[in-house]
Structures are given as C-alpha cells and as structure tokens.
Structure 1
C-alpha cells in the first residue's frame, strides 16, 4: 500500500456521497432496481444535496491527482463513484490522458433519463478520452443515452461532440487465473478438498457464491432448486446445494429483509426435503478464505450463478479456473456480463424463470462427460487468455492509441480565436466589416432535453439579451458595418434586429436590407422555384408520420427538422425521406439537398451564403458610399458545412492544388485586392450590384420591390478590399471541424468577443 495516496473526505460528505448518491441512487438505477417506495419521497427531497456532495468528492479526488500528476501520466478513473472525475481533470489540464471504466451495467437510456443529473453525468464522462465497459451491450446503452439525452452523434468509434470524439469500447475484465490454478496444488487446499469430498461423498455438489445482495438472485436460485427437488424425487438424497452468502450493508433495512427472506426459504426447504442426517441446502452467512474457496470450487459439480443484473460476475471465471480436473458445469444468468464471454460453454438461463433454471439443473447434473469436457474447454481457454492483467494492459494501450489519434484529428481542427489579437487589429483598422451568423451564434443555446419549451424557443429564435448593448455600440460606430447573415426567414430577422443600424441577409443571403430600408432580393435572375410544391408534399408526408418533427417553407428553400423526434426513428425517417426526394421531385432538378445534424434542407444550387456574399458586398459598398476600402473582416457563425466556403471567400489566393486543410492559419502574404471571377463585381467603380440586375418585384406579400438608390462609389481604380491576412478572422462557433481559421466554443464566447470589440471602438 506504499504506492497508494489517500483522499480525505469528511464524514458528512462521505455519508451524502457514498451512502447517498452512489449507493442509494446510482447503484440501484444502474442495476434496474427502483428506489424503495417508502424512501422515494425522502430521496427526491435530498437528491440535490447528495449530488452536490458527489461533485465535491469527485473534485477532491481531482485535487489530489493534480498534486501528484506528472506530464505523460495516465489517469484511469473507475466506476460510478467517479463519473464526474474526468471533467474535473480535463478542466484543469486538457492534455491529461484520462480513461474511465464502469464495473457495473450501464442501463438503457430510458432508465438513465430518470436521473435529474442525467445531462451533467453524461457530459462529465464524455470528457474522458476513452470510456470502457464490460460488454458491448453496456457500451451501446451509453452511446444511445448520449444520442437520445444529449442529442450527440454516435459513431462506430464512440460519441462525437463538436468534433471531439470520445472513444467508447468494451473491455471484458478477467481474473488472475494463474493464481487459482497454482493454488490447487498447495497442501492446505488439497487438505480442504479431501475433507469436502469425504463430507459429501455419494452426492453431487452444487455451489453458489454471492454477496447477499438484491441483484444476485439468491432467493430465485434457492426456489429453482426447490422446484428441481419437487420434480425429481430420485435426486433428493443425491445432490446438495452449498450457498455462500457474504453479508453486505447489514445496516440497511432492505438487506436485513433479504437476509431474513433467504433464511426462511432455506429453513422451509431443509425442513421439507431434509432428514436427521442430511439437508439439501448448506447456507453460510460469511466469506471463505482464499484456500477454502479454491477447494470448494474444485470439488463442485455444478456452479449456479443466477444474478438478476451483474456487471460481470467473476465467480464464474474463478470456478472455471479451478475445474480443469473435474470439468464441472456452469449455469450462468444471461443478465450477468460474463454471459457475453462464457455463454458458449455455460448453460444460460433467465433467473426470473424458476422452471427454466430447475430444468437446467437437471440437464447439468445428467450431462454426459464428453459434453462437459467440450463446454469446459471452451470456457477455460477464454479464462486463461483473458486475464485481469491482459484487460488492464489492453485498456491502457487503447487509451494511448486514442490519444495519438485525437492529436492527429486536432491538427485538422482550427485553433481557438485569439481574442486579444482580433480586438487589437480591430482597433487599428478604419473600415471594418463584421459578418455574423444568427442561430447558435447570437441566440441562446438550446438543450435537447434540458427545457420542456426548448422546441418552441428554437423555432422562434431570439437575440441573446446580453448581446443587445455591445451589438448596439458596434452598429452605431461609423467605422464598422455589421451584417447578420442567416438561413432564417426575413420576419425572424426583422423581429430581432429592426432597432439596430445594421444589414440583414435572410434565407442564406437571398434577401437583403439595411434596417433603415426595404427588403430587396439578391437572387439570380434565372432562379427557378417550380420544384417547391412537390418537395413540400414529401415534407408534409414525413412530418405527419414523424412525431415532433416540423418543416418550414421559405421563399428559396424548404427545411424539415426532426431534432426533437426520437433519435433513432428520426434518422430512419430522414433516410427514407431522402430516398423519396432523389427518386421523385428532385431527381432531375438543379437542387442541393443539405443535411444538417437533425435536419434536411432543399434549396436551389445557387442558394448559398458564399454565392450571395459577392452581391451583398457590392450592395453594401454602393449604399454606404464607402470612401476607404475595407481593411478588417470578422466572419463568425455556426454555419452548415455546405455554407462554410464563406470562410474562405476572403482568404488570400493559394495554388489550386493546395488543399484547404493545409492552408496556413495566419498567412504572411498581404491581400491588396480581390481577384478572380467571384469578386470581379467589387473591383470597379462602375460595377452594378446583383440587385440592380434583377427584375422588379412589388412589395406586397411574397414579392419584393428592388431598391435603387444613389450610388457613391470608391475612387476610380481602387478596390473594395485592402485586407492584410492578419486582419481577417474567420471563426466557426460550436464546431471543431471547420474550414474557418479559428473557432469559438459557444455563443458565450461570441458575447465575450463582441463586448471586447464594442469597448475598443
């Protein structure tokens, strides 16, 4: 124990953390056991204080780890007691190698979602680099919970959140099999075996070794044995069940009740089928030392493991390791994690089905020697090859590999925005252009299941209250032009920004207005919208058949959103919807189908933010009568992948063979003018905007009137941009994989940035 470092917790924290949150809430939940009815109200009242103690205890563990951590160390967190620890560690040191392993089952998402702290626990675990479970089923349940509760994307490798991949995998634990095998050769073990063989000579020995716990299925096991004796009178004096029940949590009323129940059943069966000289069940309420236990395993003919729910159950492994001579039979609950590993050699049973277990006992006792040998050989080979040492080595090795792979992915992820640098360059510039996205950039973040009204809020997005003041300051600065570029409809932008002196570009830039003027269209002249009705019919069909999905008809696109539908069902419906679209209304049309994380959008090929920015900039320049070229551009947003080429619009030209992923983050060359066809419109004094080239629209209803105003152009021969590379900041929000130069974690960081800019006008 010299290499162990203690973590000191005060008595009250231990009570609330260990006895309360861990053992009274998480443990029953993870084992599919409901809270005792009489305690449910009290538990509900004390939940928050217990969860606070849980977080405090985890933070204390993190503090001790940080005191002793050295660079390159691996931190392996274990079990449900420390689900908050990965987050605590990563917040202190994001480069720390952190793994987390759960030794219990992980329940289905329908069970886990009952936890009031469900979101925090899942996100805390996802802070780890590698998350391990005993079986694939548990891993699958965890991924499903992250998908259904957090709304994240599950992949074959794990769970992805904003470009960060947390690896999820199954690592079945084993035992030190060599220790058990060698123990059988020790004299004291041989002596115990000799005594046991004499004591039960002429009788088959069945064995159960369990903690006296609700999940171990001891009453079910004993009742199944009783049924076997009822149905097989010829076995009544030829078989004995040895049940070792190790006491646990003896101060808890439920466990005291279980102990009394087991004693009552054992007494009744022994009274019914026993005699003065022999009883069918030998029950011990105590543990055995290692040598006694090995001897008992070795002389047993049938081991009976009837867990109602068990993370792994290594008793089955220990029994197999000690059976190379006798080649006994293992009856194993299908609800134990070990069933995934030893199921081929064991007899799998449903412990709730007493009749099935009783029948399996008869089958095991009468099993031919050759079948016993085949079954044992299969399980023995697995036990000696999948040891505890191999399990630990595999997990740590996979954690190191995961770290390396994450580092490779990180190289493709834009670095965080250097806010101080962006603000400093802003202060030094004379004509600034700020291009801001709206949804998830200037709006409040919306939790998938965090708020009951979140669906309504998202379809009626509102500008964050804490952005109103800094945004107004920026809009009132004569050196700064603010453009809100969004996929939202015009009325949504009007509702949020009519009181600000800025430019609005709705529906991916297809409609434009300065807030002091009327809406105009920037749509290409030949843009056809004849496809709308047929696509609308498809969207209506799937909306009717997908609960909580919605679709929105805009003037240049249609969007079907299934964010609040059941995740699995929503994905299936989206796949089916796409097939309907490709084989029907859009099969021969010039349309783009843009798939978001939980949405499908259909728009004309020409409808993209980057395609519109040319026309928008031309209109802004002419409308404002700019005398000086733009010398600072900040473009930030949570844009769809399809629209991310807006980030590269202002980038210095690179050779076409150079992929975007290797473009320098802060290029050294200076951009003095825009070149190429995409920007030719902005080059000349006498350039006309796309708005001027479009047909006239009336301002009633869905049509628009093109606004023609006096143009004040730049001096002859000058360009719209005089932009140095270090004066351009493209920044994605809440997306780690992006074409942007930089990234911001959330709209909270957008608030921080805009406040800084507003204070440095």
Structure 2
C-alpha cells in the first residue's frame, strides 16, 4: 500500500516500529528527520535504513545503505542487500547510528552553531586588524622608494584576477597587463607570479612581459626567460586515484578533472553548494588511503581539491 497522507505521530511511531526496512529517498533534503525517527524506534530490534545521499542526514548516518535516488539499479541492489542482511549486522549498524543521533542533539547543534558564530566573529576581528592603514601604506611606500632592489611576489587567482566560474576565463585584464609592464620596466624590480596555473597558460597570458614565474605551486619556475623544473619527471597517475576522481565526477554534475604535469585537480566551482560540500568531503576521505600509500598530498583549495607531491609548494618556491 502507498498512503498519500500524513499520520498522527503515535501511529507513525508504530509503523516505524514494525517496519523491517525504511527507505528514505529524497532528491534534495536539508536534514531528514524521518530517517532519525525510524532509528529512534528500533531500540533492541533489527531494521535497515536505506537513505538517499542527497539527504543531509547521510553525512552522519554512514551505517545506512546510502544510495543515489536517481539510480534505479542502485536502489534495487540496496533493497536486496537490506532484505538479505543478517540480523547481527542490522543491529550493529543500528547501534552505531543510534549512538550518533543520541549525542547529536538539538541542544548540541545549537551550541555548535553559536560557537562557530563566535569563532567567525573572532576571525573577522583578526582579519580587520591586519588591514593596511594609511600609516602602514606610507611606510611601505617609503621603503619601496628607498630600496635598491625589490622582489615582488604575486599570487594570481584571487589576487591579480578575481575567482570566476570557469578558470579559463580568468584572463588578465589590459589594466593588469599595463601595470605589470610598468613594474617590470623598473630595473630595480624583480616581479614573480607564484601560481597554481600551468606553464603554458602563464606564458600565453603574459607573453612579452619580463616576468618570472612559479607554476603549478612551485613544481616549475621560470627565471631569465627559461623554465626549470623541481619535479624529476612527469607524474604517472595511479589508476585507483583516477577511478576515485572519475567516480566523483560521474556523481557530481558540472565538476571536472584537470590533469597537470605535477598534480591532479578536481574542480567544483559550478556545482551546487550543498552537493559540493558533500562530494568534497567524500572525495578527500576516499583519496586518503591511496594518497598516503603513494606519498601524495591532498590540498583543498578554493572550489578545488588538488593531489600533488608534498615536495614543493608556493611557500617552498618563495624560500628558493
């Protein structure tokens, strides 16, 4: 039977109590209390929860059978798994989830929320204190004018150019190019763009300007018009890592993978925020094993997750 109606809460609890399986399959949901209500009624009794990955509760109810509600074959397999799951496994899964929901109460959620607000407020105050005022600007200008040589290190994305939905569209403006030409025309200045971008893009965008570069987070650097590399050879990527990222892309519309000479990058700037946050956590968790085995570093960035060697970064290039 399928009832197109709501039930009084006491009747709903009774239905939860006798249900062997609860299948909760929203296409988009904030939290989903139905899943938690079902778990709360199964004290000492077996039962299986099948839960959509699109529900907010899926992040913490990881012992449920998590499914993509758009994938009918996956739903079919989940129902079969639930029907054949041993009672012992059912109780273990239920017990784990019941412990979790018993500690993650509304009161705790409210306290965590307030703590986070206070933390952000503190961070904002610290950021405000770091803003350069007129006095600091005057001192910087004075020391700049008096310097015999100047090393000027500039990031690109988010500094010289704003973040954009499509990274390929973040081309330098005419105003920026003219400014860089003026800066490099002063023989006292050595101007370096220290970027995660690859060499080809940097050469193309800044052609004709006497700049030095650090590309791909320091994997490559350009001095005196010649490129050098800090990596011994182009990385051959592990099949397991590629499969994990490709699987994430399949489940995350409008995300994509970029393969650089020294790193792999998963881009999710155009993905819905709620899904992006979920997938980013899932991807990082899935990559931890193979990344540790291969001595690779997982670097979350601005709407990206990058996998690279730990032997170089923007900071190490500055030290060089």
- Place the TM-score, normalised by the shorter chain, in its bin: 0.5 to 0.7
Is the 1:442–1:464 contact (alpha carbons within 8 Å) kept by the matching residues of 2?
no
| Secondary structure of the structure 2 residue equivalent to 1:580 | helix
Q: Among 458, 470, 475, which residue is 2:184 paired with? A: 475
**In 1, Cα distance between the equivalents of 2:241 and 2:255?**
16
Q: How does 1:249-648 map to 2 (within 5 A)?
A: 406=121, 410-411=125-126, 414-417=129-132, 418-443=136-161, 445-446=162-163, 455-456=165-166, 458-514=167-223, 517-523=225-231, 525=232, 529-583=235-289, 585-615=290-320
Structure 2 unaligned spans of 5+: 1-27, 29-113
* C-alpha spacing 1:506/1:462, structure 2 compared with 1 (3 Å): same
The structural deviation recorded for 1:466 is 1.6
In structure 2, distance between residues paired with 1:473 and 1:482: 11
* 1:410/1:536 CA distance change after superposition, 3 Å: same
Query: CA offsets, 1:72-97, max 9 Å, x none?
Result: xxxxxxxxxxxxxxxxxxxxxxxxxx
Change over 3 Å in CA distance of 1:480–1:407 after alignment to 2: same
Change (3 A) 1:474 1:534: same
- Rounded to whole Å, the distance in 2 between the matches of 1:534 and 1:440 is 32
Is the contact between residue 177 and residue 206 of structure 2 (CA under 8 Å) also seen in structure 1?
A: no
**CA–CA distance in 1 between the matches of 2:264 and 2:294?**
15
Which residues in structure 2 correspond to 1:142-221 (within 5 Å)?
none
Shift of 1:607: 2.3
Q: In the alignment, is the contact (CA less than 8 A) between 1:548 and 1:565 conserved in 2? A: yes
User: Is this contact kept in 1: 2:212–2:225, CA < 8 A?
Assistant: no
SS state of the match for residue 560, structure 1?
strand
Please tell me whether Structure 1 or Structure 2 has the larger radius of gyration of its CA atoms.
1
CA distance in 2 between counterparts of 1:518 and 1:475 reads 17
Return the alpha-carbon distance in structure 1 between the equivalents of residues 121 and 319 of structure 2.
Answer: 37
The CA deviation string for residues 142-181 of structure 1, in whole angstroms up to 9 with x for no partner, is xxxxxxxxxxxxxxxxxxxxxxxxxxxxxxxxxxxxxxxx
Q: Decide whether aligned partners of structure 1 residues 551 and 528 sit closer, same or farther in structure 2, where only a CA change above 3 A counts.
A: closer
Per the alignment, do residues 610 and 473 of structure 1 end up closer, same or farther by CA in structure 2, a change over 3 Å counting?
same
CA contact (8 A) 1:460 1:492 kept: no
TM-score by length of 2: 0.57
The 3 A distance-change label for structure 1 pair 490 and 528 is closer
* TM-score using structure 1 length: 0.25
Q: Superposition pairs for residues 672-691 of structure 1, below 5 Å?
A: none
Aligned-residue CA RMSD in angstroms? 2.8
Is this contact kept in 2: 1:556–1:607, CA < 8 A?
Answer: no
How far has the Cα of 1:573 moved from its partner?
A: 1.7
State the alpha-carbon separation in 2 of the partners of residues 609 and 425 from structure 1. Answer: 25
**Structure with the larger RCO, 1 or 2 (CA within 8 Å, 6+ apart):** 1
- 8 A Cα contact 2:214 2:317, kept in partner: no
